[in-house]
Structure 1
Amino acid sequence: MSKDRIYRSPAGLAGGVLLLALALWLGIDALVAGEGNTPWMALAALLFLVPLIAAYTVRPAVFANDDRLRVRNPFRVIVLPWGQVASFRSGYSNEVFTESGDKYQLWSIPVSLRARKKAARRETRRASGGGQGRGGLLGGLGSLGGAGSSDGADGPVRAETDKVMDELREALEARKPANTSQGEVTVRWAYEVVAPAAAGAVLLAVLLGTG
């Protein structure tokens, strides 16, 4: 099996690390210095908030290789052999559709309307001979399984997440017929996120209920 290419949101990672650091700093301070029920409230809040913050910021990722696409969303992990992928769609969010009609959002590849407008302005300037800039959140992504990026030196300027989706579409077209790309779609719930968050929510509710 070929090595996975990993697609994540640097902005989500940076924001998640900052939020986790803040939550841990405040929570640990309350655990150590708090009085009465405060340490217990802090513990419950940490159990509830830390898994959720991590789930929505640090955890999301898309892993792709020559055989399959693995989508790690906040609460589920979806493994899709290329043979089971029907298409990708980019609207207000980026999504993958299976041959059976199921739809899964790609949390780690967020749509940025601002980036699309910026890319459209750069494309307008490039088309009029004003030059072309480079950059973006997910820059530096190479090809997957021999499929090159659709944004070549003479191609249209695209937002970075749109270029990622183009790359995934090219990989789908190249790898879908392969024998090693066949199989069943599997979905696993992320109990490592759900369990502590649920425990924290229950403990928090009990503490609030008992005063």
Structure 2
Amino acid sequence: MTSPDPQSPVPQPSEPESRDRVYRSAPAIVGGVLLLAVTGWIGIDAVVSGEGRTPWLALALMLLVVPLVAAFTLRPAVYAGEDRLRVRNPFRVIVLPWGRIASLKSAYTNEVLTESGAKYQLWAVPVSLRARKKAARREMRASAQARRAMGRDEGRGSALGTRAGLGGGLGAGPVSDGPVRAETDRIMDELRGLHEARHEAESAQGEVTVRWAYEVVGPAVAGAVLVAVLLLVG
């Protein structure tokens, strides 16, 4: 039986790679799938059953519409990593190191602002005023229930304390889990937390890069040109 060589290196377990957090809009994806299904159904029916220039016009319209629908519904995503934020919008991909981000702003849209003053909208994290109002109503109900529960506990504690000669309550009431927030507002809170934690990191420095999505723009422009030519030719 051979003994292990003391000079041979001991294999170390590989560290798991940190994965980006991915944020996308589920309603937009569902709507995009439905729109693409309807577009495909109508377009294919026109190609198969149409006469004259109708099949060609249908193909040109599909070449124009399909990339645009996919761009505004299926494509948007936000990837948050340890060192940078990657924003995939309908027509552009923006890579922003955390050290170059000045703030993340939420108003009627969610946006990221760079130190140079540039502003980029987060299409994958849309603001829902309806969700904000719903969260605010839930917060008001939760606060009212907490106040009522605390009042009952204080009354019970005062009564027991009076009987025992203690003159004080027994409990501090329920502890709140924090304010109720809309889903996209919670996402923005997470992104702000990452930005605050990684803003000064050496690996989170660099330049902001912007790349146009030619895989979307190219087919859409080609479809628009074909539609215009077919309509002009008559």
For the pair 1:11 / 2:34, whether they are aligned, the reply is: no
Deviation at 1:53, TM superposition (A): 0.3
1:187 to 210, 219, 223: 210
Deviation at 1:130, TM superposition (A): 6.6
Q: Deviations over 1:62-120 (max 9, x none)?
A: 00110100000000000001111110110000000001010000000000000000000
Counterpart Cα distance in 2 of 1:191 and 1:65: 25
- Residue 177 of structure 2: SS of its match in structure 1? coil
Identical pairs, percent: 69
- Residue 174 of structure 1: SS of its match in structure 2? helix
- Residue identity matched to 1:44: A
- Residue 145 of structure 2: SS of its match in structure 1? coil
Counterpart Cα distance in 2 of 1:98 and 1:12: 27
Name the counterpart of 1:33.
49
Aligned length: 191
- Residue identity matched to 2:76: P
TM-score (structure 2 length as normaliser): 0.79
Name the counterpart of 1:141.
none
Counterpart Cα distance in 2 of 1:208 and 1:10: 37
Please state which structure has a larger fraction of its residues in helix: 2
Change (3 A) 1:50 1:155: same
For the pair 1:94 / 2:117, whether they are aligned, the reply is: no
1:125 to 135, 141, 156: 141
Structure showing greater radius of gyration is: 2
2:60 to 36, 40, 44: 44
Deviation at 1:153, TM superposition (A): 5.9
Name the counterpart of 2:119.
103
Deviation at 1:179, TM superposition (A): 1.1
Name the counterpart of 2:230.
207
TM-score (structure 1 length as normaliser): 0.88
Q: Which runs of 4+ in 1 moved over 6 A?
A: none
Deviation at 1:2, TM superposition (A): 2.2
Counterpart Cα distance in 2 of 1:3 and 1:67: 11
